[in-house]
């Protein structure tokens, strides 16, 4: 019989609770219980970064994070960046402007990590940004335009664009 456990957490600013199978990953919970399908199932072994979410402000691969560990945590996914009127964020706009998106599968993860990077309020060099983004694989773009987009939005937010 499945071992179930109550998980209470904040998901994208809203207090939520649900019974979760202890075998579920955080990816499973976010996709299946909360329909947050920006959280992609890619490699499912913590290598590709497509499932990246913020837990208490830090980026984690939700595929190798047990759903029950989310109890008491503040979880944010790509959906949390949406404006009140459904508008996209400046990060997403920069990705569009820099043609950083091709098939798009890896992009929610990249954008979540970008949100974590920008929340530090620091200015990073291009090499530092490369390292900060290195937990994501993209098979289409060759990364250059993604890097351009992240650099652009970082400068915009620091008032240096």
Residues that bind another protein (CB under 8 A): 3, 21-25, 28, 44-47, 49, 52, 58-61, 64-66, 68-69, 113, 131-136
Task: Please state, in angstroms and rounded to a whole number, the distance separating the CA atoms of residues 102 and 32.
Answer: 26
Whichever of 26 and 94 has its CB closer to another protein, that residue is: 26
Task: Please state, in angstroms and rounded to a whole number, the distance separating the CA atoms of residues 62 and 45.
Answer: 10
Measured from the CB of residue 135, what is the shortest distance to another protein in angstroms? 3
Whichever of 36 and 54 has its CB closer to another protein, that residue is: 54
Task: Please state, in angstroms and rounded to a whole number, the distance separating the CA atoms of residues 18 and 38.
Answer: 20
Whichever of 3 and 125 has its CB closer to another protein, that residue is: 3
Measured from the CB of residue 17, what is the shortest distance to another protein in angstroms? 17
Measured from the CB of residue 69, what is the shortest distance to another protein in angstroms? 5
Whichever of 2 and 84 has its CB closer to another protein, that residue is: 2
> How far apart are the two ends of the chain, measured CA to CA in Å?
57
Residues 6+ apart with CB under 8 A from 110: 49, 52, 95, 100, 133, 136, 138, 146, 150
Measured from the CB of residue 63, what is the shortest distance to another protein in angstroms? 8
Whichever of 49 and 92 has its CB closer to another protein, that residue is: 49
Strand (E) positions, 42-82? 52-55, 58-61, 74-76
Measured from the CB of residue 136, what is the shortest distance to another protein in angstroms? 8
Residues 6+ apart with CB under 8 A from 3: 21, 22, 23
CA angle, residues 125, 102, 35, in degrees to nearest 5? 95
């Amino acid at each position: 019989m499945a071992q179930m456990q109550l998980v209470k957490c904040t998901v994208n600013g809203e207090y939520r609770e649900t019974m979760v199978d202890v075998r579920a990953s955080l990816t499973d919970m976010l996709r299946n219980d909360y329909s947050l399908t920006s959280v992609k199932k890619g490699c499912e072994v913590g290598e590709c970064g497509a499932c990246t979410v913020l837990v208490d402000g830090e980026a984690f691969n939700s595929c190798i994070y047990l759903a029950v560990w989310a109890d008491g945590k503040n979880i944010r996914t790509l959906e949390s960046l949406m404006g009140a009127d459904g508008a996209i964020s400046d990060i997403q706009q920069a990705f569009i402007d820099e043609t950083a998106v091709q098939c798009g599968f890896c992009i929610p993860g990249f954008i979540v990590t970008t949100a974590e990077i920008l929340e530090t309020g620091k200015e990073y060099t291009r090499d530092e940004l490369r390292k900060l983004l290195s937990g994501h694989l993209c098979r289409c773009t060759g990364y250059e335009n993604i890097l351009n987009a992240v650099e652009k939005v970082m400068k915009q937010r620091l008032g240096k664009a």
